[in-house]
Chain A
Amino acid sequence: MTTEMILVGLAGVLAAAAPVIFAVIGETISERAGVINLSMNGTILLSAMASFGVAVTTDNLLLGFLMGMFVGALVALVIAFGNITLRQSQVAIGFVLALICRDLSDFLGNPFVGQPGPRLPFAPIAGLADIPVIGTLFFRQDLMTYASYLFIILAWVFVYKTRPGLMLQGIGEKPAAAFVRGANVNRMRYFYTILGGAIIGLAGPTFSLSVKAGWKGTLSGLDGIGWIALAITIFGGWNPLRAAFGAYLFAFLQWLGLVLQPSLPGVPSQVLQVAPFPLMILTLLLVNIGNAEWVGRTLAALPEPTRRFIARGLRAMRASPPAALGVPFESE
């Protein structure tokens, strides 16, 4: 394998990660506001199907992407309404919607299965694309991959460096305090849930109009991505940068599975394809174990230098969810 081939492969990893990036960034924003969007697996499938359908019938890619965002926003609206206005469990509503949207994409997408459709054109950036190594890696992609870079940076800057972003953290961490400071917590939660949903909705068309162009029903390999993206969001510790790192890591592992396939003939391809899942569980464990009570107790019993060393390691990996995640807010 030449260096050039590896570079092109890694550039493919960046492109393949783009839809997952949209999904985890959208989910991160929604969860930062305190609302879990558990419907993600269904939302991605439905938005992939709907945007492909629109793009095929109108022959307009932009309309396709807008349709994806619309579907994502609509599903998020149902979750927001059920949770914020009607005070039902986010997990329950999100889970049901995940199943409904999956079946809907199957049922309504039937006429589009296997149809040829438009595909987002390859768009190397003049000048930047010719830089050795970096050009091949980052700047010989399509528009949505560039958008995914941009979204990571924008989301990080928004959450940590702007006033509304600070307020967003507030309504997820301490809604009562945010309320006292004049925030309309529930209206903001509606807004961010729908915004997050619209961004998740971009993941669908990024698959069906770019990375895995076409619609092949729920068997197309898209099914399951949403559940993984949910795990990556947690791995990311509700930080857009770390979440993006998780998405890239996942795409890299999948690519590695494909590349290693020929050299490991004894291992069936199905096993390599799921290799990311045990790793994901392991990373979730590493991220969360610092929060467990028994760990603290055990650590306290260890000799000081060892204790400090392990504690520091755990703290570096640890991520705590927004304190009010999943908790409805009542202003009275």
Chain B
Amino acid sequence: MKNTRISNFGFQILAVVLALVVTSLILIAAGANPLDAYKNIYAGSFGSFEKLSDVLVAWIPLLITVAGLLVTFSAGLWNIGVEGQIIMGGIATTWIVRLLQDTTTPPALTIALAILAGMIGGALWAALAGALKTFGGVNEIFGGLGLNFVATAATIWLIFGPWKRPGVASIAGTEAFNESVWLPTMGDTRLSLWALGLAIVSIMIVYFLLQGTYIGLRLKAVGKNPKAAYLLGVPTWQYSMMAFMLCGAFAGLAGAMQVMAVYHRLIGSISSGYGFLGLLVAMLVNYQVIWSVPVALFFAALNIGGIQLPIILKLDSSITGILQGTLVLFVLMMEGVRQRFMKRAGEKQ
């Protein structure tokens, strides 16, 4: 037993090494020194207190999104529509803020209602993908992808149409909110402790939901074998819908955080790709909720660390995306190698 655990770990280390080797080869092919690039990414992410706070700012929406995605993954669902759910969260939040910020509503109440609206917006958008799947038989991957494009179009339409800045409408976003409804940030940084707290609470809720509750157990049963779960009396489609809406609510929360704590307005790319990045993290941790905390932090650090690559080393920052992707690819591949290896070892005995 102990032996297999060590060998599991060995395969994962090998996957990380392979991902680094491949990424380094790509860097060399582009005429760059890989060590310089990695040093730069490190300096750009954990090099100073400001950078570290930026990493945490990126970690918040990523971790919240991953929390949601772990629910849908447990239910055996590929919620690729998560990008659109983040966007809809951002839109709903902005809508409530625009509605209430100039009224006599206390700012604290406006903030709370706006965040709640974001969660509802995300959940409803997810419910749409869920309904297409459960009642229409449309695979959630394709329904979700289509809905992502629609959500992006809705954002752009709002920014250039009904919510355009007085004077010049631009992709940079709507007019900034009144400062009274911004989530307070720490010192000079962009980091909001409220947002950080919500992210940590989100992942804890999902941890307890999946590890320690009857609902979590039934959710996993639906994910592992829907037919068997149905025959055992689990209301299958209700659980699928619930998983979609829970994930959508978390995604919407992530969108709300981007609007309320980071940009203070609706911008064209409000989801910033955190949905797809969240899918990568959720795949990498393979249902182990606890691991999503450090892995999401690492991925956020790569994102932030890559920002200064074009300035200092004249390298496109997409190299960090390549590293993130190859990491997941090799972990998947090595898992397959390990299973083959174990099977062969089992046959020998």
- Which residues on A are within 8 Å of B, measured CB to CB? 38, 78, 81-82, 85-89, 91-93, 95-97, 99-100, 102-104, 106-108, 110, 224, 227, 230-231, 234, 268, 270-271, 273-274, 277-278, 280-281, 284-285, 288-292, 294
Contact = CB atoms under 8 A, between A and B. Distances in A.
Interface stretch (B48-56, B136-144, B259-267): B136-144
Contacts of B315: 107
B329 A96 contact: yes
Interface in B124-167: 132, 135-139, 141-143, 145-147, 149-150, 152-153, 156-157, 160-161
Contacts of B146: 231, 277-278, 280-281, 284
Contact of B336 (A38, A88, A234, A278): A88
Contacts of A110: 30, 316
Interface in B304-349: 315-316, 318-319, 321-322, 324-326, 328-329, 332-333, 335-337, 339-340
B283 interface: yes
Given A107-B318, A268-B156, A285 B136 contact: yes
Contacts of A89: 332
A95 B136 contact: no
Nearest to A82: B333
Contacts of A82: 329, 332-333, 336
30 contacts: A86-B336, A89-B332, A92-B332, A96-B328, A99-B324, A100-B325, A100-B329, A103-B319, A104-B318, A106-B316, A106-B321, A107-B26, A107-B30, A107-B322, A108-B29, A108-B30, A227-B145, A230-B142, A268-B160, A270-B153, A274-B150, A278-B150, A280-B146, A281-B143, A284-B136, A284-B143, A284-B146, A285-B136, A289-B135, A289-B136
Taking chain A's interface residues, is the majority helix, strand, or loop, or is none over half, making it mixed?
helix
B295 to A, nearest CB: 14
Contacts of B339: 86-87
B137 A107 contact: no
A89 B26 CA distance: 26
A102 B318 CA distance: 9
B83 to A, nearest CB: 11
A232 to B, nearest CB: 10
Contacts of A96: 280, 283, 325, 328-329, 332
A96 B322 CA distance: 10
A289 B137 contact: yes
Contacts of A280: 146
A103 B161 contact: no
* Chain B CB within 10 A, most for which of A87, A91, A268, A294: A268
A281 B157 contact: no
A47 B132 CA distance: 33
Interface in B173-230: none
A103 B321 contact: yes
Contacts of B249: none
Given A102-B321, A268-B161, A285-B132, 20 more contacts: A81-B333, A82-B333, A82-B336, A85-B336, A86-B333, A87-B336, A91-B78, A96-B283, A100-B321, A107-B322, A108-B30, A230-B142, A270-B153, A271-B153, A273-B153, A277-B150, A284-B138, A288-B139, A289-B136, A292-B136
B80 interface: yes
B279 to A, nearest CB: 7
A104 B26 contact: yes
Contact of A99 (B132, B142, B325, B333): B325
Nearest 8 CB-CB pairings of A with B:
A86-B336, A100-B325, A103-B321, A288-B137, A274-B153, A106-B318, A103-B318, A270-B156
Interface string B258-301: 00000000000000000010011001000000000000000000
B336 A292 contact: no
A87 B161 CA distance: 49
Contact of A292 (B135, B160, B322): B135
Given A88-B332, A91-B141, A292-B135, A104 B322 contact: yes
Nearest to B145: A227
B316 A95 contact: no
Contacts of B152: 274
A95 B279 contact: yes
A24 to B, nearest CB: 13
Contacts of B139: 234, 288
A310 to B, nearest CB: 15
Contact of B157 (A87, A93, A270): A270
Given A96-B283, A99-B325, A231-B142, A270 B160 contact: yes
A307 B127 CA distance: 29
Contacts of B141: 38, 91, 230
A95 B136 CA distance: 23
A99 B160 contact: no
B136 A86 contact: no
A107 B280 contact: no
A76 to B, nearest CB: 14
A102 B315 CA distance: 16
A21 B119 CA distance: 39
Nearest to A280: B146
Contacts of B318: 103-104, 106-107
